[in-house]
Structure formats: C-alpha cells, structure tokens
A and B are shown apart, each in its own frame.
Chain A
C-alpha cells in the first residue's frame, strides 16, 4: 500500500489478503527474514510484530506487491 506514516508507535504486523494474493513472490525476495514461499509459490508469513529494524524492508516488500495484497497494520483492524 502507499502508506502514510503512523501517528503513534505500536506493534505492526504484515497482513495479507489471501484472495488478492497471486503468488508473485516478490515479498519473499524483499523480506526473507519474515516471509518464505510454500511449495506453490505462496507466502508464509511469520506471525507476530515486525521488528523495528525490519520495518523499512517490510514497507518496501508491501509496496512491491503487484496486486496490493499486503498491508502493514496494527492487529486491531
């Protein structure tokens, strides 16, 4: 997504829309610490909040998705 910087701190998670996801796999290339691909090219995302030092990489991975299936959000949503 094209993100606006958050107003406050908080745990952020990488959330995925499984219906939009088409298995392009760009996210796994850009965030291999948290995302790996299953046998069919679809992402398996490490649960839990994104470590602060990976937030920049996470944003790049999310923006790279050609079908906009990923977003960074706090879990309440």
Chain B
C-alpha cells in the first residue's frame, strides 16, 4: 500500500545491507541473560502491537513460569493502514532478529517463531540464513494470513499451533500457555527491534531518545491525504502536527485525523495536531496510539461515509466465533450504511449507542471493543455530519 521506505530516525539506523554491515553499524550483541528483563523495565519500552503493555513486565511474566518458553515475533500487522512492521522486517531484519534472539537468551527459550506477512518472508529468510548466532534455537517462520485479526496474540499462537489464525479463549494467557502448550512471549516485531537495541545501548540511552518526558522512539505510518505518505521513526512525545509537517504536510484543511488505525479513532484535525505521540499521554486524554497510524481524512470527505466503510470492513473481518461480534458488528455496519446513504431510521443513533455498548467485552478478543471505540470516536468527532445524515439529508459531500 505505501511504497516509500522507512525514514531513518533516531535509533533504527540505515537499511540493512547484510549481517556483517549490520554488525559494523550497530556493534555486536553483548552476552545476554535474564538481567535484560530488568533493563527493559527501566527503559519504559512499551509494546508496539497496539496495547502499549510494558515490555519488561511482559518478559517478567514469561520468566516467572516454570516451563521453557517460546518466543513468537509478531509481524502479522493486520491493520490495513499500517506498514511499519512490514518495512521493519524487510529493511532492517537484523534488528528484529537481534531482539528475538535477545528474548530467547534472556528468557531461556528453546524455540523462536517469526510470524510474518507473506510478502516479507523471502527477504527475511535470506537475512535469517546469515545468522550463525541463531543456532542455539529451533527457529521457524510461519506465514500469517492477510486478516485484520491475524495479529491478535492468541490468533498468532493458534496459527502457529494449528494453522488457523483465530483467537482463543483467555485464560490461559499466552505467557502461561501458548505455542505447543508452553509459556509464550508474543511480542510485536518493532518492540523486539527496540529491545535488541536496548540490550546494546542500555535503558538510559532509550529513555533519552524521546522528547520531553516521553521515553524512546517509535514508528509511525503516515497515510491518507498527505503529500508524502510513508513510514517514519520519531522520538516519542513528538506531536502529530510535527510528524505530518516533517513529512511534507497536507494540502488544504482536513477536518479529521485517524489516530491508531481502525483500533484507534477519529480526532478533530486541529486538536490532533497538538497531541504528543506518547501512548501514556494519549491514554490520559482518552485517545489511543494503537499501532502508530496517522491517517489524514481528505478535506471535504464525509466522516459518516468513511466510518460506515470501516465498520463494514471490521464486520467482515470478524473471526465469526462469538455471537455479539458476528451479529453486533453486522447490525452496526448495516445501520451505518443506511445512515450514510440517506436512509436512516429514526431510531438509528439510539441503536448505535445501545449496540456499541452491548458488544463491549463480550467477544473472545477485543475486536468488538475496538469497533465500538472507533464508532464512538466518529460520533464524537463528526456530530454535525451525523445529525445531517440522521435527518435523512445527505451532507454536501455525499450528494
């Protein structure tokens, strides 16, 4: 979807030109043991798969289990607007491998699985073949199907175990039982890449990469009505506006920006510009960084129509295992489509509120929750457009 390559930022360095070049640029990996876990806790590195869960705490949970763990590097990247994981895997595979091996050594794992988008696998395999230091582990690559939910933790595990990327019931959580019934660290590829760098340069180095109080740096996918879409690395705490302007800005005056992808939400463009890209600060403002997508809605686009398309997509991407998700998202998508095409029923806004409330927390995974939050953000950001459509008038854009 996005053709431009990752722009080098503060930490990830230039694109890979083979393993020996990688060692020349970054230095060799130090000897790694369980002490890396505490270093990660001190670094305040947060998971980059969307949940922003502290990486050190996650590794600690796996370490607390008695059985030998498995490392699962999650590069499925089901979010269609996001490209950061694919570009990381394709242009800097050795950073990912460093991080995955570091996790293996720190946690005493016997097996490392790379769960990747099919397009990235050929080049990644070439990089993996160069790594003699991986010989202590049973390493494998599993192709993730091209589905939105394929990157969910238990879906990844399920796919590695039984070739079906469908979420599983929790408990047990992955750190308790996952691949082959063993405690499993399911970690996003970007998180692992940073973990590998922290293993080299330390916690303080990482914290200092950020702007202000925010620690570290992170990858952002910029898309939509912008001059130069692409993936870029920015210091955490950089504002949305700074990122967009740094990549060439956008034409005109868009009304809204989608932050975090379909698992994030719409924000008014003027408000969005000032938001710092730091998961903690954003959460405090009721907004999510998610997988780091910044998507700019073109000027004049209709928020109701765009939202209807997204909900329809999310409904069609259901794993179809839980009633509230299958029927709830279908009902919401149908109502949104009717609203968007000027055929609103008088009860529609009430139904949207009730159904989005009803489906929260009632699936085996967070898919219905994500859709409900997305829908809430749309109602909050496009109140006028919704009012117009509810009155069965089409707004200027839609007619």
Q: In whole angstroms, how far apart are the Cα atoms of A18 and B171 in the complex?
A: 12
The answer to whether the Cβ of A41 comes within 8 Å of any Cβ in the partner chain is: yes
The answer to whether the Cβ of A39 comes within 8 Å of any Cβ in the partner chain is: yes
Q: In whole angstroms, how far apart are the Cα atoms of A21 and B364 in the complex?
A: 10
A40 touches B328 (CB 8 A): yes
Q: In whole angstroms, how far apart are the Cα atoms of A51 and B380 in the complex?
A: 38
> Which residues of chain B from 323 to 341 have a CB within 8 Å of any chain A CB?
323-324, 327-328, 331
A19 touches B327 (CB 8 A): no
The answer to whether the Cβ of B26 comes within 8 Å of any Cβ in the partner chain is: no
Question: Residue on A with the closest CB to B355?
Answer: A39
What 1/0 flags go to A61-77 for Cβ under 8 Å of B?
A: 00000000000000001
B322 touches A77 (CB 8 A): no
Question: Residue on A with the closest CB to B358?
Answer: A38
A39 touches B323 (CB 8 A): no
What 1/0 flags go to A1-43 for Cβ under 8 Å of B?
A: 0000000000000000111111100000000000000111110
Q: Which residues of B contact A23 (CB under 8 A)?
A: 323
The answer to whether the Cβ of A44 comes within 8 Å of any Cβ in the partner chain is: yes
Question: Residue on A with the closest CB to B168?
Answer: A19
Q: In whole angstroms, how far apart are the Cα atoms of A52 and B363 in the complex?
A: 28
The answer to whether the Cβ of B362 comes within 8 Å of any Cβ in the partner chain is: yes
Q: Which residues of B contact A39 (CB under 8 A)?
A: 327, 331, 355, 358
Q: In whole angstroms, how far apart are the Cα atoms of A26 and B358 in the complex?
A: 19
The answer to whether the Cβ of B140 comes within 8 Å of any Cβ in the partner chain is: no
A77 touches B171 (CB 8 A): yes
Q: In whole angstroms, how far apart are the Cα atoms of A46 and B330 in the complex?
A: 24
A41 touches B362 (CB 8 A): no
Q: In whole angstroms, how far apart are the Cα atoms of A53 and B358 in the complex?
A: 27
Q: In whole angstroms, how far apart are the Cα atoms of A22 and B324 in the complex?
A: 10
**Residue A18 contacts which of B327, B328, B364 (CB distance < 8 angstroms)?**
B364
| Size category of the binding interface on chain A | 10 to 19
Q: Which residues of B contact A77 (CB under 8 A)?
A: 171
Question: Residue on B with the closest CB to A15?
Answer: B171
Q: In whole angstroms, how far apart are the Cα atoms of A38 and B331 in the complex?
A: 12
> Which residues of chain B from 158 to 204 have a CB within 8 Å of any chain A CB?
167-169, 171
Q: In whole angstroms, how far apart are the Cα atoms of A38 and B329 in the complex?
A: 13
Q: Which residues of B contact A21 (CB under 8 A)?
A: 322-323
The answer to whether the Cβ of B321 comes within 8 Å of any Cβ in the partner chain is: yes
Q: Which residues of B contact A17 (CB under 8 A)?
A: 169, 364
B322 touches A19 (CB 8 A): yes
Q: Which residues of B contact A19 (CB under 8 A)?
A: 167-169, 321-322, 364
Q: Which residues of A contact B167 (CB under 8 A)?
A: 19
What 1/0 flags go to A40-60 for Cβ under 8 Å of B?
A: 111010000000000000000
Q: In whole angstroms, how far apart are the Cα atoms of A40 and B334 in the complex?
A: 15
Q: Which residues of B contact A41 (CB under 8 A)?
A: 323
Contact A44/B362 with A19-B169, A39-B331 known, Cβ cut-off 8 Å: yes
Q: In whole angstroms, how far apart are the Cα atoms of A59 and B328 in the complex?
A: 28
**Residue A38 contacts which of B171, B321, B324, B363 (CB distance < 8 angstroms)?**
B324
Q: In whole angstroms, how far apart are the Cα atoms of A38 and B355 in the complex?
A: 9
A14 to chain B, nearest CB (A): 13
B322 touches A18 (CB 8 A): yes
What 1/0 flags go to B343-366 for Cβ under 8 Å of A?
A: 000000000000100100011100
Provide 15 A-B residue pairs closer than 8 Å at the C-beta atoms, listed in order of the A residue: A17-B364, A18-B169, A18-B321, A18-B324, A19-B168, A19-B169, A19-B322, A19-B364, A20-B169, A22-B323, A39-B327, A39-B331, A39-B355, A40-B331, A41-B323
New A-B pairs, 12, CB < 8 Å, besides A18-B363, A19-B321: A18-B321, A18-B364, A20-B169, A22-B323, A23-B323, A39-B327, A39-B331, A39-B355, A40-B327, A41-B323, A42-B324, A42-B327
Residues of B within 8 A of A (CB): 167-169, 171, 321-324, 327-328, 331, 355, 358, 362-364
Q: Which 10 residue pairs are nearest across A and B when measured between Cβ atoms?
A: A40-B327, A42-B323, A18-B322, A18-B364, A19-B321, A19-B364, A23-B323, A17-B169, A38-B358, A42-B324
